[in-house]
Each structure stands twice: as structure tokens, then as C-alpha cells.
């Protein structure tokens, strides 16, 4: 009886690792799990998700999980728009409450040049079916009365790009929702199993070496974000990815005073208040590449200074905790998705940098379609690795991050 109750309360099964699967996904973060779930929906269930740590313990565990679609480029906007739509129905689809709160978002502009680009973004957004528009300080003060809108101060708020459907989701719930749904379909989840090598034969990936033995596979997907380069090195592939830490922190719980996410690229900071009352504050990646996930006092001080210029009301607030996660930054701030020329059986789902959580539903769906059919869906064709050879970079820098100082 006790054993039955225990089994019922388990989040997912714990099967023995087999020595062959049709598909092996390296990385049990939001992207690996979404890809697995969508493979299951396509009828491919001989799939193993392998993670060296606990599921969702990488960047996905550390995400501030802002979900939005107000990007800049004709490649990025439709991609993130589709992902955003999928998030709107994801709780029902996964039968797991993801607490997606569509509170709306303001990207603030403090200089003429910043406002010019906010207008460009609004124009492209509207043309491509994303609800966003530029608003003036009067409307900003109605939406966020606590914002410091004094005229004449350094970096005054001149305008904002308002994106009403943007929101925040519970990052751990998304990971668990995908994991449980994939598990129900018969897909195997293997946390605490590290990939130590990739097996290649005649220009084709045929499996992986793990600390629990060798596994052969028809297709291997790398969904390893901050560790993508370490995995690609195993197949002698040099990815245009550099790993940087990204930090964030939260204040003690405060009475509700902020019901929008706000972000300022000029001031290198963003913030929102959670349902618990804590204010989540983040900014740019650390100024140096490293695989260390330690939070630093320098960044805490910088982010505090930046955010107080927008929200001076936070001055007496106490800081509760601070953390860091790894981000796989690409030169054009867009992901790398798809096949690798000259290396069959190896698919990339990486380059998610500081912006990847919002993309997991559509990336998982399209990468799963690619694995199942061998054809790259149109929506992700611009994000192939070959763009760095043919010069067709995407340049989402202005819209992908809250801030970039390096
Ligand atoms: C502080 C912070 C705030 C963020 N805020 C946002 C935001 O507001 N909105 C947004 O859209 N994005 C945000 N992001 C980015 C987003 O969280 C990531 O892009 C996303 O979670 C990446 O998911 P993933 O599944 O690709 O990678 P991860 O979640 O990092 O998963 C990769 C997994 O690969 C595993 N792995 C690595 N090497 C091996 C190996 N050799 N063998 C087996 N497994 C291995 C790791 O253990 C890890 O679990 C933020 C990130 C951080 C750090």
C-alpha cells in the first residue's frame, strides 16, 4: 500500500537505461524536454532524455522566465509569436498548471535613438501580428505609477514599447509539465547520467558514451545550452557560441505595487513582481565568459544601482537571494537549430543565450518535426548553423536581451 502510494506520487518513472534508442536527447532542460514531448506527439517514443544533473537544473532552473514575442527581425518575430501562442494553451495541453501570468511588458526608451528603435520594433511587430505599440510617459505612468518619470533626470523615460500579452511563467512547472507528459507517452528520462563522448562512424553520429555505459542511437539531439560547446567538441565541431553567466536576484516579499514587467536596455536592468510579492531583478550577462555559476557581489551592486534609477521605491527593500546560470551566447543573439552539414544524425537545439525559455514550445515542436521527417521546418530554416558561413546573420541583439554591456 505504502509502495503504491509512493509510486503514484513519483513525478516520472525510473526505467533502466537501455543500450539503444531511436533518439537520444542530451540535456533535460526545457528545450530537451519540449523536444522529447513533441517527438512523442509525433508517435516517436523510443526516446531517452539524458542529463548529467537533475532535470531542469541548468539554465532552466535559473530562468526569470519572461515570455514575450516583441522581437525585431522578420525571422525572429514569427518564431517567438508562435511560441507565445503555444504558451497560452500549454497548461491545458500538459495538464499541469504553469501559472502563466500575462501581465504585460514595457521596454523603456531613454534616448532618441532608443525610441527610434522601439518604433521600428512596434512597426515590425504590428505587421507580423504581434500586439505591441509605443506609448508616451502619460500612459506609462498610468500603467506603472511607481516608475521614476521625472523629466530632466539622467536617462529620463521618453517612451516605451508596450506589449500587453507578455507575461511570466513558472519555470520549474514548465520543466515538470513537459517531463511528466513525455513520461506518460513512454519516453524515458535519465537524470544524473553524463554524456562523456559521442560515437561517430563514416560521417554519422551513431550514439553516445555515458558514465552509465554506451548507447547507440539513430539520432542524437544536443539541447545543452551553456554546455553546447563542450558537447560539440566531442564531434570536432567548433560552434560560434561563448558561454557567459547571467545573474538575477529577488527582494523580500513586498505589498503588490508592480503588475508589469519593465525592462531598460539603456539602464541594463529589468524587473517584475511575483505573485508572492518578491521583486525579481535581472540585467546583462557577466562581462567575462566562464562556466562558473556563482553569483557575484559586483553584479548585485550594479543591478541594484541600475534598477533604483527606475524604481527608487525599492531603496529600503532587503535582498533575499541571488543566483547565476549559464547562457550560450551567439554572435547575432539568435539560436542555432537544425542539422550539421557533413554530420548526419546530429541535431542542434542551442544558442539560447539569455532569451531561450520563451522559445521552448516552438523550438521543441519544430526540432521534433525535423528529427521525425528529416526536413527542416520553414520557421527554423533561418536559424541554421550555415548562416555563419553564408553571412545571413539575424541580428536580434536589440530585442533579445534586456541589456548587453559587453
Ligand atoms: C538568470 C537567468 C534569467 C533568464 N531569464 C530568461 C527570461 O526571462 N526569458 C527567457 O526566455 N529566457 C531566460 N533565460 C534563458 C533561459 O533560461 C535559457 O535559454 C533556457 O532555460 C535554456 O534551456 P535549455 O533546455 O536549452 O538548457 P538548460 O536548461 O541549461 O539545460 C541543458 C542541460 O544540459 C545538461 N548537460 C550539459 N552537459 C551535459 C552532458 N555532458 N551530459 C548530459 N547532460 C548535460 C545540463 O545539466 C542541463 O540540465 C534566463 C537565463 C538565466 C540564467
Per-residue pLDDT tens digits for 166-225 = 999 999 999 999 999 999 999 999 999 999 999 999 999 999 999 999 999 999 999 999
Give the residue-averaged pLDDT of 117-131: 97
| d(C-alpha 80, C-alpha 333), whole Å | 13
Give the residue-averaged pLDDT of 109-132: 96
Task: Say yes or no: CB of residue 175 within 6 Å of ligand 1.
Answer: no
Which backbone phi and psi does 123 adopt, to 5 degrees? -60, -50
DSSP 8-state symbol, 243: E
- Integer-rounded Cα Rg, in Å, for the chain is 21
Determine whether 113 is exposed, middle or buried from the number of CB atoms within 10 Å of its CB (0-12, 13-18, 19+). Answer: exposed
How far is ligand 1, taken at its centre, from the CA of residue 59, in Å?
3
pLDDT for residue 74 is more than 80: yes
Task: Say yes or no: CB of residue 60 within 6 Å of ligand 1.
Answer: yes
How far is ligand 1, taken at its centre, from the CA of residue 32, in Å?
10
pLDDT at 310: 97
Give helix 76-88 / helix 360-373 axis angle, nearest 10°: 100
Size of the chain in residues: 406
How far is ligand 1, taken at its centre, from the CA of residue 310, in Å?
28
Q: Which of 29, 65, 285 to mutate to test the pocket of ligand 1 (most atoms within 8 A of CB)?
A: 29
Using CA positions, which residue lies closest to atom 41 of ligand 1? 195
Position of cell 544536443?
Answer: 222
pLDDT for residue 7 is more than 90: no
Using CA positions, which residue lies closest to atom 44 of ligand 1? 51
Q: To which CATH superfamily is domain 103-166+243-329 assigned?
A: D-Amino Acid Oxidase, subunit A, domain 2 (3.30.9.10)
pLDDT mean across residues, the chain:
95
Q: Write down the architecture of domain 18-63+172-240+332-400 according to CATH.
A: 3-Layer(bba) Sandwich (3.50)
The domain spans of the chain are 18-63+172-240+332-400, 103-166+243-329
Give the residue-averaged pLDDT of 83-100: 98
Task: Say yes or no: CB of residue 52 within 6 Å of ligand 1.
Answer: yes
**Considering the entire predicted model, what is its pTM?**
0.97
Give the residue-averaged pLDDT of 341-357: 97
Please report which confidence band the pLDDT of residue 106 belongs to, taking 50, 70 and 90 as the band edges. very high
Please report which confidence band the pLDDT of residue 10 belongs to, taking 50, 70 and 90 as the band edges. confident
Please report which confidence band the pLDDT of residue 3 belongs to, taking 50, 70 and 90 as the band edges. low
pLDDT at 393: 94
pLDDT for residue 405 is more than 60: no
Please report which confidence band the pLDDT of residue 322 belongs to, taking 50, 70 and 90 as the band edges. very high
How far is ligand 1, taken at its centre, from the CA of residue 337, in Å?
15
Helix (H) or strand (E) holding 347, with range, is strand 343-350
Task: Say yes or no: CB of residue 384 within 6 Å of ligand 1.
Answer: no
Give the residue-averaged pLDDT of 59-65: 97
* Listed residue (257, 296, 302, 325) closest to 65, CA to CA: 325
**369's grid cell:** 518535426
**78's grid cell:** 514569427
Give the residue-averaged pLDDT of 84-107: 98
pLDDT at 399: 77
Task: Say yes or no: CB of residue 248 within 6 Å of ligand 1.
Answer: yes
DSSP 8-state symbol, 146: T
Residues paired with residue 134 on neighbouring β-strands, in sequence order: 161
Amino acid at each position: 500500500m505504502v509502495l503504491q502510494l509512493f509510486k503514484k506520487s513519483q513525478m516520472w518513472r525510473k526505467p533502466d537505461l537501455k543500450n539503444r534508442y531511436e533518439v537520444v536527447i542530451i540535456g533535460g532542460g526545457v528545450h530537451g524536454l519540449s523536444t522529447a514531448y513533441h517527438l512523442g506527439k509525433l508517435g516517436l517514443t523510443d526516446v531517452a532524455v539524458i542529463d548529467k544533473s537533475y532535470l531542469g537544473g541548468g539554465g532552466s532552473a535559473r530562468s526569470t522566465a519572461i515570455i514575450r514575442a516583441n522581437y525585431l527581425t522578420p525571422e525572429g518575430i514569427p518564431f517567438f509569436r508562435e511560441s507565445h501562442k503555444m504558451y497560452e494553451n500549454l497548461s491545458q495541453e500538459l495538464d499541469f498548471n504553469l501559472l502563466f501570468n500575462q501581465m504585460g511588458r514595457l521596454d523603456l526608451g531613454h534616448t532618441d535613438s532608443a525610441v527610434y528603435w522601439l518604433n521600428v520594433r512596434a512597426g515590425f511587430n504590428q505587421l507580423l501580428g504581434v500586439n505591441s505599440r509605443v506609448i508616451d510617459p502619460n500612459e506609462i505612468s498610468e500603467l506603472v505609477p511607481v516608475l521614476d518619470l521625472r523629466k530632466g533626470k539622467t536617462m529620463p523615460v521618453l517612451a516605451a514599447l508596450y506589449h500587453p500579452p507578455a507575461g511570466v511563467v513558472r519555470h520549474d512547472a514548465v520543466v515538470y509539465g513537459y517531463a511528466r507528459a513525455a513520461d506518460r507517452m513512454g519516453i524515458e528520462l535519465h537524470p544524473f547520467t553524463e554524456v562523456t563522448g559521442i560515437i561517430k562512424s563514416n560521417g554519422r553520429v551513431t550514439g553516445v558514451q555515458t558514465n552509465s555505459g554506451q548507447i547507440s542511437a539513430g539520432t542524437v539531439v544536443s539541447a545543452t545550452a551553456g554546455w553546447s560547446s563542450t558537447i560539440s567538441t566531442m564531434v570536432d565541431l567548433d560552434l560560434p557560441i561563448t558561454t557567459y553567466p547571467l545573474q538575477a536576484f529577488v527582494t523580500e516579499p513586498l505589498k503588490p505595487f508592480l503588475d508589469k514587467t519593465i525592462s531598460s536596455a539603456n539602464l541594463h536592468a529589468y524587473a517584475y513582481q511575483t505573485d508572492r510579492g518578491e521583486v525579481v531583478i535581472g540585467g546583462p550577462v557577466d562581462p567575462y565568459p566562464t562556466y562558473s555559476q556563482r553569483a557575484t557581489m559586483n553584479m548585485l551592486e550594479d543591478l541594484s544601482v541600475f534598477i533604483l534609477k527606475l524604481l527608487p521605491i525599492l531603496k529600503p527593500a532587503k535582498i533575499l537571494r541571488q543566483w547565476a546560470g549559464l547562457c550560450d551566447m551567439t554572435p547575432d543573439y539568435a539560436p542555432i537549430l537544425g542539422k550539421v552539414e557533413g554530420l548526419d544524425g546530429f541535431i542542434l537545439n542551442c544558442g539560447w543565450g539569455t532569451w531561450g525559455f520563451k522559445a521552448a514550445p516552438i523550438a521543441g515542436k519544430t526540432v521534433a518535426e525535423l528529427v521525425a521527417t528529416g526536413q527542416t521546418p520553414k520557421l527554423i530554416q533561418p536559424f541554421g548553423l550555415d548562416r555563419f558561413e553564408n553571412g545571413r546573420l539575424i541580428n536580434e541583439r536589440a530585442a533579445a536581451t534586456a541589456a548587453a554591456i559587453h
